[in-house]
Copies of this chain bind each other. A is one copy, B any other.
Amino acid sequence: MTETTVSRADAQRARVTSISAEIFSRRGFRATSMNEIAAAVGLSKPTLYHYFRNKEELLVRIYSDVLDESLAMGERTVAAAASPLDAIRDLIASRVAYTCENQALLKVCFEEEHELPPELADGVLRRRRAFERLFAGALERHLAGHPGLRLPMAPKVYVNMCLGAVNWCYKWYRSAGPCTPEQLGRQLAETLTASLAATPGRVG
């Protein structure tokens, strides 16, 4: 129902958004002109402004799409996991896969933050924090269930470390390489959670 209700206009907007993201990721938001986008989409500039109020709105739309999907995916993953440790592993694996499959989109989101209008920047921050809290929550539950486990760092640091390893994939992953996104995700998940699984003393 809701899916067949997408108007032609909304479909156009999605098309424009996706092409814009591709160009932004290659040349940068500021360095990309509305004329270029119009040409790439196959429309004139005024027609672009028929669908979007201004250039900023293109960027906002990209951010919103990515953040909404990321958060939803994260919540689904945590809800489906059998244990907190599995939640962390699946979170890492699914994030890596998503990042590798949407490198252009993620690059824009990671590298154009300063172009967001200030009044929206904190909304973005809020959702990003919500995602991090998903991760941190699972970690805390895991640690609470395994009192013998000692991390050499604060939980927040561990989360940021994992997110760095995960997010950085947008810079180096190449689909022509030997790994599928899913394989890569499993590998990172396994290695990054090594310090969480191997109880150094004995299992309680």
Question: Which of A27, A151, A157, A163 neighbours the largest number of chain B CB atoms within 10 Å of its CB?
Answer: A157
Question: Which of A152, A169, A190 neighbours the largest number of chain B CB atoms within 10 Å of its CB?
Answer: A152
Min C-beta distance of A201 to chain B, whole Å: 14
A28 at the interface (CB under 8 A from B): yes
A160-B168, A172-B160 are known contacts. Are A26 and B188 too (CB-CB below 8 A)?
Answer: no
* A34 proximity list for chain B (CB < 8 A): none
| Docked pose: A172 CA to B160 CA in angstroms | 8
Convert A26-61 into 0s and 1s, putting 1 for each residue whose CB lies closer than 8 angstroms to a CB of B. 111011000000000000000000000000000000
| Docked pose: A112 CA to B28 CA in angstroms | 8
Dominant secondary structure at the A interface = helix
A147 at the interface (CB under 8 A from B): no
Convert A157-183 into 0s and 1s, putting 1 for each residue whose CB lies closer than 8 angstroms to a CB of B. 110111111111101100000110000
Segment at the interface with B among A2-10, A12-20, A69-77, A191-199 = A191-199
* A203 proximity list for chain B (CB < 8 A): none
| Docked pose: A175 CA to B115 CA in angstroms | 24
A-B contact pairs, 5 of them (CB 8 A): A28-B30, A31-B114, A154-B178, A162-B165, A194-B198
CB < 8 Å: which of B111, B114, B164 contacts A164?
B164
Min C-beta distance of A47 to chain B, whole Å: 25
Docked-complex contact A158 and B114, CB < 8 angstroms: no
A153 at the interface (CB under 8 A from B): yes
Question: Which of A153, A161, A165 neighbours the largest number of chain B CB atoms within 10 Å of its CB?
Answer: A161
Docked-complex contact A161 and B191, CB < 8 angstroms: yes
Convert A104-117 into 0s and 1s, putting 1 for each residue whose CB lies closer than 8 angstroms to a CB of B. 00000011101100
Min C-beta distance of A30 to chain B, whole Å: 4
* A151 proximity list for chain B (CB < 8 A): 191
Min C-beta distance of A130 to chain B, whole Å: 16
* A191 proximity list for chain B (CB < 8 A): 151-153, 158, 161, 195
